[in-house]
Amino acid sequence: MSTNLTRLRLGATGLATALVLTACGASGGTEAGGGDGGDTAEAASLTVWVMGDSGANLEAAVEPFTQETGIEVNVEAIPWDSVNDRLTTAVASGDGPDVTQIGLSQLASFLEAGALEDLSDAVADHANLDPANFSEAATADTNPGGGLYSIPWVSDTRVLFYRSDILAEAGIDAPPTTWDELRADAKTLAGRGEGQYGYYIPQWDAPLPVAYTWQAGGDVVDADGAVTLDTDAFRAAADHYLGFYEDGSVPTASDFDQTTGFISGTAPMLVSGPYLASAIAEQAPDLEGKWGVTTVPADEKGTSLLAGSNLGVWAGTENLDASLQLLDFLADPTTQVAWYQTVGELPTATAALEDPSLAQDPLFAVYAEQLADARPLPVSTKWAEANQALLDTLNAIALTGADKAQALDDLMATVEEINAR
């Protein structure tokens, strides 16, 4: 399914208004100040870490929660590139937040550090936290080893964005649905002239070659968490990835901006998440009707990345009950629907994904279709190391002319060393 429609979004004030009624029922039947957490919830003040630039939106979202419960929520925005440093410092000092957002790619680090409270016993009193309430994709592999250390909050999946107007001008009637079509269309679009490309590859982000490996029928880790790149599927993925560079279909500048490139038409096809749709609608409303999204082009499969964030309670917090009430509120389907309509991040609660108001959103229909075939990156510390080695190898081949066969052999040797640690 594809669509080229955009949609209106609520502002921060609209988000708070939409959530007023949600707060009344968000505590899952637990009175403020109740529970076994040892804190007096109505007197509690919570510190919440939120990653990236969603701080203002979260402050608006929790206003109704504070009005209903009396629990103050102090939101601290942490830049994504500072998360690991803040985690290390907080664990060492014992001075962490009460609640924290956890990017799925960083979940292994939080678990290994022992930073998260096991919430298994909280589900009985906070119904919205029950893992059964969430989509299978959102809960897959996110709490390895048992226990319930994090709750799905928001998700995104990667889909193909395309400029339908530019494709039509180039004689391309429909967006590509297969690997071969994607490469051919990208080459055609790059032939429009100097400085024009057909596709965009983020040099700093490993999910694209990983997704290509999945699409080729393989995986990048085995059941024990060991990295497995010495496979036919990965080599096919690497060939597909590097083929766009060989064709001159993608930019090589490290500072190329995907949003600017898409809006200007310099890169009229790329794989990205729902947040890009919001940026396009805000920055280039005149493009309405000239772009669309569709599921990613497939090889053996059409699997894409499941990204997003979970929420967790900091181990040893003195405000456990209040923290659980906040998590319950944020996991409520009504809260999640309002968050998507404002921020553009996909819900994780099944009831939110099936909400009738979202069924009318043509963009959401594509996201939902792709979510049915999406996977998270491995929650493995070994993969975290191999991830950088993979990127370094592909960039060396694509950007500096490193010998492809030798570079890939060197990558396999590095992976063996990582697995042996």
Strand 269-272 versus strand 45-51 pairing type: unpaired
Q: How far apart are the first and last CA of the chain?
A: 44
Describe the crossing of helices 207-215 and 232-246 by its angle, rounded to 10 degrees: 120
Does one domain contain both 16 and 138? yes
Does one domain contain both 205 and 246? yes
What is the largest distance, in Å, between two alpha-carbon atoms of the chain? 67
How many angstroms separate the Cα of 229 from the Cα of each of 242, 249, 394, 395?
16, 25, 13, 16
Render pLDDT for 148-176 as a digit per residue (tens, 0 to 9): 999 999 998 999 999 999 999 999 999 99
Q: Give the pLDDT confidence score for residue 25 in this predicted structure.
A: 43
Does one domain contain both 72 and 221? no
Contact assessment for residue 73 and residue 22, using Cβ atoms and an 8 Å cutoff? no
Does one domain contain both 178 and 61? no
Does one domain contain both 234 and 298? yes
Does one domain contain both 136 and 54? yes
Domain with 299 in it: 159-305+377-420
Counted domains in the chain: 2
Does one domain contain both 196 and 217? yes
Render pLDDT for 177-221 as a digit per residue (tens, 0 to 9): 999 999 999 999 999 999 999 999 999 888 999 999 999 999 999
Which amino acid, residue 345? E
For the CA atoms of 225, 229, 230, 232, the dihedral, rounded to the nearest 10 degrees, stands at 120
Does one domain contain both 97 and 165? no
User: Above pLDDT 90, what percent of the chain?
Assistant: 75
Q: Give the pLDDT confidence score for residue 399 in this predicted structure.
A: 97
Does one domain contain both 284 and 371? no
Contact assessment for residue 214 and residue 371, using Cβ atoms and an 8 Å cutoff? no
* H helix runs in 128-271, sequence order: 136-139, 164-169, 179-190, 207-215, 232-246, 258-264
Q: Give the pLDDT confidence score for residue 104 in this predicted structure.
A: 87
Q: Give the pLDDT confidence score for residue 384 in this predicted structure.
A: 83
Does one domain contain both 193 and 214? yes
pLDDT-derived band at 141 (thresholds 50, 70, 90) equals low
pTM summary value: 0.82
Question: In the block, which residue shows the tokens 């990127």?
Answer: 391
Q: Residues 6 or more apart from 365 whose CB is under 8 A from it?
A: 1, 3, 359
The candidate with the shortest Cα–Cα distance to 50, out of 326, 274, 417, is 326
CATH number, position 294: 3.40.190.10
Does one domain contain both 14 and 79? yes
3-class SS letters over 40-77: CHHHCEEEEEEECCCHHHHHHHCHHHHHHHCCEEEEEE
Question: In the block, which residue shows the tokens 């659980």?
Answer: 324
pLDDT-derived band at 363 (thresholds 50, 70, 90) equals very high
Does one domain contain both 145 and 37? yes
pLDDT-derived band at 109 (thresholds 50, 70, 90) equals confident
Strand locations in 301-410, DSSP E?
304-313, 346-347, 374-375
Question: Across residues 346-361, what is the average pLDDT?
Answer: 92
Structure token digits, residue 277: 């749709």
Question: In the block, which residue shows the tokens 């076994």?
Answer: 36
